[in-house]
Amino acid sequence: MRKLINFFLVFAAFNFLFLGNSFAESTQSVLFIGDSLTAGYGVNKEDSFPQVIQTRLRSEGYKIKVLNGSISGSTSASALSRIRWYSKANPKVLILALGANDGLRGVKVEATKNNLQKAIDFAKSKGMKVLLAGMMLPPNYGKEYTSQFKKMYSQLSKSNSLPTIPFLLEGVAGEKDLNIEDGIHPNEKGHKKMAENVYPHLKALL
């Protein structure tokens, strides 16, 4: 009888470990690398658009885990080091949403482009699918600079054959009721709109 009990205990433990590992292996990690817009500055973590997307996908039966490696105030210069760090978790998809702070600081477009290219190259070398989120700058930064900045994303998309969200803040930027008091960072409603902007592009990669 004791041997039989021990057998069932071992069998149960084996199945627990097996099923647990199977679940982990079937779960796709999705990595977001961005700045304050993606980090969710000004809202609760669960209201940031990456978390809103995770909740929606899980409700539809997708087994995904969001890794948010976004840092407020960050530029494209830190993209590669952050992706390298998070690559340990073996993410299947990378949403790269950087460049806004580069533009606001007047960083040369070519420098930003090179930083993003290095990040894309590394992500691809690790087998990640990359979704590039584009940004736009206010017109007061000069027509030539803002034009080059906007083209940078389409150029990266074309040269790397990447799906791209033309403008992450489409329908949010400049909308008073969708941003917090600073008029720059989205509120809860704004993050829901950003989630809508990203969702179909991300879902196509899962």
- Active-site residues, by number, are 36, 182, 185
Q: Is 175 exposed, middle or buried (0-12, 13-18, 19+ CB in 10 A)?
A: middle
Contact, 194 vs 172, CB < 8 A?
Answer: yes
- Cα of first residue to Cα of last residue in the chain, in angstroms, is 49
- CA dist 30 → 56, 63, 140, 174 (Å): 14, 10, 35, 29
Instruction: Round to whole Å and give the CA distance between 26 and 61.
Output: 12
